[in-house]
Chain A
Amino acid sequence: MAKLDSLLFPVFDALRRQGVPLGVSDYLLAVETIRSGLGLEDAARFKELCRLLWTKSKEDQELFEIAFAELIEPQLQIVSTSELVTATPINTSPSETPPSTISSESTLKNSEFQSQSQSESKTETLDEQVPFRPKPSRQLFSFKLDRVEQPRHYYFTMRLPISQREMAGIWRHLRRPQRTGVLEDLDVEGTIDSICRTGTFIRPRLQARRRNQAKLVVLIDQQGSMAPFAPLVNAVIESIERGGLLGKVSLYYFHDCPEGFLYERPSLTSPLPLEVVLNSQAKNNSVVIISDAGAACGYYDGTRLADTKAFIKTLGTYTYLYAWLNPMPSNRWLATTAGDIATIVPMFYLDKEGLNDAVNILRGHPFPPEVGTYE
């Protein structure tokens, strides 16, 4: 059991660290399945079994490939396919209690096959004959000459302050289920109520189904100081689109501060007047602004502050559900424009708690006490 653990656990741990939703029961399930004999026919089947049990999306599969290649493949390569003939399922293992003669290096030189079966007898902790367990390090030396040096691959994953999956989960909270549309559901309470009032049953009362009426307008600061945050912003946009608000998200772009125009494309082309956009999209809907608000520049810019104040005032006439997401952490806002903008708009850092608070504000929670456009 210990040997199987040492084989599987590193991969499991690597996947968990990357954010794949796995739990203890998944690990135990994998161990149980392998012990019952599935996936032991060859190395490829073993890999497929682990991939089937432990990955939950295409991206997870890529992470799995890397982890598996790095951690398990080197162990598996020791076993050549000829020994897999000796693979025995769990129910015949008691009859094959191995002889206790522990082989030393000298017997290794006799024959490859003999040493393989003897090394399998060595692992006394595992009752089943799992054909490709990692061997004790002494015997590895005799096979190292046959092994080709593995080329190292580097796979760069984004380390975001919050993973895309978590973001999608938080955006899911932005829902406004309201009963609108065609009346199709039977309103049991209402029907009973009308029967009680009138004493007879004339017709049933119908009500509409609850639909998610939340609409989100996303205003994104592009280029300039926001250029290094492009992958993070893309991850946020993708998580919003996957968060369940299908079709009711509009994206607009600006640079530094939306002064009179918003752009439809990330390259800051095809402008639309600000008031037109707000009038058509933002009325009573949630608006989120993603921008560093000058925190990445590191200095205080009075004109930027004044422009932003004017913009927030305009925005406030259309909707009160707005929040500001800042990719810079809050300790970097001090003494920059962002510090002052944070007093007029609820501003949050793009991590789990900050995003949670922002979505609460977008749902209609009251602003934090010190924030507001007071004059």
Chain B
Amino acid sequence: MADLAKRQYRGDGKCPYELLPEAWTEPEPYRAAKSLIEAVNVALYLRRPLLLEGEPGCGKTRLAYAVAYELGYPLHACYIRSTSRAQDLLYDYDALSRLYDIQERSSGSTQGKALPTLPRKNYMTLGELGKAIEQSQNDIPSIVLIDEIDKADIDFPNDLLLELDRLQFNVKEVPGCSFDALKGKKREERRNLLPLIIITSNREKELPKPFLRRCLFYYIEFPDQAILKEIVKSHFQAEITPLFETAIKRFWELRSLRNWRKIPGTSEFLDWVTILERDERAKKISDKALATKPITNLPHLETLVKTQPDRDALAKLRKQDG
């Protein structure tokens, strides 16, 4: 594992490195822009959290999976809900079942000798970030994905500040149980063994300033036509038929048609192309037919246009065109 310092994310979907224990092994077809690959490598070098923003459906979450696969690192994914608390990411202590067990044992002791109480550590389960810190303590780096952090309550990012900075935490219910990824050394010395944290946000809420200061920020733009072609190629392993090219062109036209309330994104495009491919195999559509159809009347528009105002606007345009 001496090459940890040299592992880089290349964005080609292949893993040339030795896999770490519990590494993420599912290949992830992901095409990243060059600047995004650079950003990931800088974040990897500095081991600072990488904050990703962008249109919904542009591939913020899948990047973490792709990075974990290519580097051969294990992946810990935390999906945030509106009721999430920062402590849930670190650990969860089940006080209730311990209480039940104690009751059971003390009532069982009326028949015989008293059973010893189980140690408190048994009732503690580590959360995903806690597991990552524990792995770092054992000198295994990993990738941590914190998805949609702005869904949580506003205190959530602030509560995480200390843990993100120093990568250590104590379990207060279990005396003497603490995890420290830095192991008392300086951050620079243990850099290659720390987890890389990738955070995604939908910009629904403004994140607090102390939190933003610690992160590196990257905005994922919608891919241009060339990268869109690569994405289609990597998802549909078969070679590109002319239908795909026409689909890309028409999708681009559709995006530039008007001010969308919810603009069709990459994931919608992939769904649409899947359905078109199925239709092509069933001989229901050909690329020439797709090229000549009016833009407001494309087949399977329901996979692309997701809100009622957009659909109404398209219907109006359709009527105008006749």
| Interface mask (B218-240 → A, CB under 8 Å = 1, otherwise 0) | 11000000000000000000000
Let me know if B38 and A244 touch, CB within 8 A.
no
Let me know if B103 and A57 touch, CB within 8 A.
no
Let me know if B53 and A58 touch, CB within 8 A.
yes
Let me know if B217 and A48 touch, CB within 8 A.
no
| Interface mask (B24-53 → A, CB under 8 Å = 1, otherwise 0) | 000000000001001100110110000101
Let me know if B46 and A49 touch, CB within 8 A.
no
How far, in Å, is A319 (CB) from chain B's closest CB?
A: 23
How far, in whole Å, are A148 and B15 apart by their CA atoms in the complex? 45
Among B204, B208, B217, contact of A246 (Cβ-Cβ < 8 Å)? B204
How far, in Å, is A214 (CB) from chain B's closest CB?
A: 11
Chain A hits for B83, CB < 8 A: 209
Among B38, B43, B46, B219, contact of A61 (Cβ-Cβ < 8 Å)? B219
Chain B hits for A209, CB < 8 A: 83
How far, in Å, is A177 (CB) from chain B's closest CB?
A: 9
Q: Which of B187-230 contact A (CB under 8 A)?
A: 203-206, 208-210, 212-213, 215-219
How far, in Å, is A186 (CB) from chain B's closest CB?
A: 6
Chain A hits for B53, CB < 8 A: 57-58
B99 proximal to A (CB < 8 A):
yes
Residue of B nearest to A60 (CB): B217
How far, in whole Å, are A244 and B152 apart by their CA atoms in the complex? 9
Residue of B nearest to A32 (CB): B46
Chain A hits for B39, CB < 8 A: 48, 52
B153 proximal to A (CB < 8 A):
yes
How many cross-chain pairs have Cβ atoms below 8 Å apart between A and B?
A: 77
How far, in whole Å, are A60 and B219 apart by their CA atoms in the complex? 11
How far, in Å, is B203 (CB) from chain A's closest CB?
A: 8
Binds B, one of A123-131, A149-157, A165-173, A215-223: A165-173
How far, in Å, is A42 (CB) from chain B's closest CB?
A: 11
How far, in whole Å, are A168 and B204 apart by their CA atoms in the complex? 12
B96 proximal to A (CB < 8 A):
yes
A332 proximal to B (CB < 8 A):
no
Let me know if A38 and B42 touch, CB within 8 A.
yes
B154 proximal to A (CB < 8 A):
yes
Q: Which of A183-236 contact B (CB under 8 A)?
A: 186, 188, 191, 201, 204, 209, 212
How far, in whole Å, are A188 and B38 apart by their CA atoms in the complex? 48
Let me know if B209 and A169 touch, CB within 8 A.
yes
How far, in whole Å, are A244 and B150 apart by their CA atoms in the complex? 9
How far, in whole Å, are A57 and B210 apart by their CA atoms in the complex? 14
Among A52, A172, A212, A239, contact of B218 (Cβ-Cβ < 8 Å)? A52
Let me know if A26 and B206 touch, CB within 8 A.
no
Let me know if A49 and B38 touch, CB within 8 A.
yes
Which of B103, B209, B219 has its CB near the most chain A CB atoms (within 10 A)? Answer: B209
How far, in Å, is A11 (CB) from chain B's closest CB?
A: 16
Residue of B nearest to A202 (CB): B103
Chain B hits for A49, CB < 8 A: 38, 42
Let me know if A52 and B99 touch, CB within 8 A.
no
Let me know if A201 and B42 touch, CB within 8 A.
no
Let me know if B99 and A204 touch, CB within 8 A.
yes
Among B99, B203, B217, contact of A55 (Cβ-Cβ < 8 Å)? B217
Chain B hits for A168, CB < 8 A: 206
B275 proximal to A (CB < 8 A):
no
Which of B42, B154, B213 has its CB near the most chain A CB atoms (within 10 A)? Answer: B154
Chain A hits for B42, CB < 8 A: 33, 38-39, 49, 52-53
A179 proximal to B (CB < 8 A):
no
How far, in whole Å, are A357 and B280 apart by their CA atoms in the complex? 65
Among B153, B209, B213, contact of A165 (Cβ-Cβ < 8 Å)? B209
Chain A hits for B203, CB < 8 A: 57
Question: For chain B, which range describes its interface: under 10, 10 to 19, 20 to 34, or 35 or more residues?
Answer: 20 to 34
Let me know if B216 and A191 touch, CB within 8 A.
no
Among B43, B205, B215, contact of A56 (Cβ-Cβ < 8 Å)? B215
Residue of B nearest to A175 (CB): B154
Residue of B nearest to A36 (CB): B45
Residue of B nearest to A166 (CB): B209
Chain A hits for B204, CB < 8 A: 242, 246
Residue of A nearest to B35 (CB): A48
A21 proximal to B (CB < 8 A):
yes
How far, in whole Å, are A239 and B206 apart by their CA atoms in the complex? 8
Residue of A nearest to B173 (CB): A188
- Contact A186-B95, Cβ < 8 Å, known A48-B39, A52-B42: yes
| Interface mask (A276-297 → B, CB under 8 Å = 1, otherwise 0) | 0000000000000000000000
- Contact A53-B216, Cβ < 8 Å, known A21-B209, A165-B206, A188-B95: yes
Let me know if B212 and A244 touch, CB within 8 A.
no
Chain A hits for B206, CB < 8 A: 165, 168-169, 239, 242-243
A29 proximal to B (CB < 8 A):
yes
- Contact A38-B45, Cβ < 8 Å, known A52-B216, A169-B209: yes
How far, in Å, is B90 (CB) from chain A's closest CB?
A: 17
How far, in Å, is B79 (CB) from chain A's closest CB?
A: 18
Chain A hits for B216, CB < 8 A: 52-53
Let me know if B38 and A48 touch, CB within 8 A.
yes
How far, in whole Å, are A348 and B154 apart by their CA atoms in the complex? 26
Q: Which of B157-209 contact A (CB under 8 A)?
A: 203-206, 208-209
Which of B99, B206, B215 has its CB near the most chain A CB atoms (within 10 A)? Answer: B206
Chain B hits for A38, CB < 8 A: 42, 45
How far, in whole Å, are A175 and B205 apart by their CA atoms in the complex? 15
How far, in whole Å, are A212 and B216 apart by their CA atoms in the complex? 30
How far, in whole Å, are A191 and B219 apart by their CA atoms in the complex? 48
Residue of A nearest to B209 (CB): A21
List, sorted by A's number, 8 A–B pairs whose CB atoms are closer than 8 Å. A22-B213, A25-B213, A49-B42, A53-B42, A53-B216, A56-B215, A191-B99, A201-B103
Chain B positions within 8 Å of A, measured between CB atoms, are: 35, 38-39, 42-43, 45-46, 51, 53, 83, 95-96, 99, 103, 153-154, 203-206, 208-210, 212-213, 215-219
Task: For the A-B complex with A33-B45, A201-B103, A204-B99 known, give 17 more contacts whose Cβ atoms are closer than 8 Å.
Answer: A38-B42, A45-B38, A48-B35, A52-B39, A52-B43, A53-B216, A56-B51, A56-B215, A57-B219, A58-B219, A60-B217, A165-B206, A168-B206, A172-B208, A209-B83, A244-B153, A246-B205
Closest 6 CB pairs of A and B: A244-B154, A21-B209, A242-B206, A168-B206, A56-B212, A56-B217
